[in-house]
Each structure stands twice: as structure tokens, then as C-alpha cells.
Amino acid sequence: MQSPFKPTDNMEDQIDVNELGENIVRTLKTIFDPEIPVDIYELGLIYDVFVNENYDVKILMTLTSPNCPVAETLPMEVKEKVSSINLVKDVEIELTFDPPWDKEMMSEEAKLELGML
């Protein structure tokens, strides 16, 4: 996966943005799909994370299906938890189903955890 963090011209800002991006990923790894005992990051539900120089965050994510029972609550949980990170100014969550999620999007760690390897 390519780095989801946009670089800035100022090296000090770039370090801060990169550190903030790492904090966001760590936070995403604390959020679990209630039906699958794996965090949403390892499940492959997070397609991209963008952090700009103003510490605004945009997260492009999906759900395991459009009819997922947590369709309303999971994106809200992501927004609330990421918003609570120090330095984050604003969080926008964009939900997409293109491409649709499938099991191949899971990390090796998630597949191992679910006994798929």
C-alpha cells in the first residue's frame, strides 16, 4: 500500500503530518467490525487516509456490504475516534462501495487471525 499521507514543503510539517498519519492508523486499528473479530484497518475497510498541512483528515472507507448492520454507526465511530487525536482539526469520512470490499482486501494478519491461511 502506498503512503496515504501527502508530503508538505516544510520538513518540520512533513514530520508532524507523517506522525499524525501513523497515529490515525493506530487509532483505526482499535476499531473492530462487530461481526468479524479483526480491526477495520486489517480487514481492508480503510481505502485511504489523507492528512493535509492544516491537520484536516479525510478517510475513504467501505463496509463489508452496503447492507452492513453498522453502516451508520461504524463511520461515526471512525470520525469520533480520529477527531479525538491531538492536532486533528477536522475529519471527513467518505463511504464508498467502489471497489466493493471482498476477502482479498484483508491483510495477511487478518486472514491468519480468521484461519484463512
Query: Residue 115 pLDDT more than 60?
Result: yes
Q: What would the pLDDT profile of 13-45 be if each residue is shown by its tens digit?
A: 555 888 899 999 999 999 998 888 899 999 999
The domains of the chain are located at: 11-113
Dihedral sign (CA 68, 27, 8, 90): positive
pLDDT band, very low/low/confident/very high, at 8 (cuts 50, 70, 90): very low
Query: Residue 3 pLDDT more than 50?
Result: no
Model's pTM, two decimal places? 0.83
11-113 topology per CATH: GMP Synthetase; Chain A, domain 3 (3.30.300)
- Which residues are CB-neighbours of 89 under 8 A, at least 6 positions away? 54, 55, 56
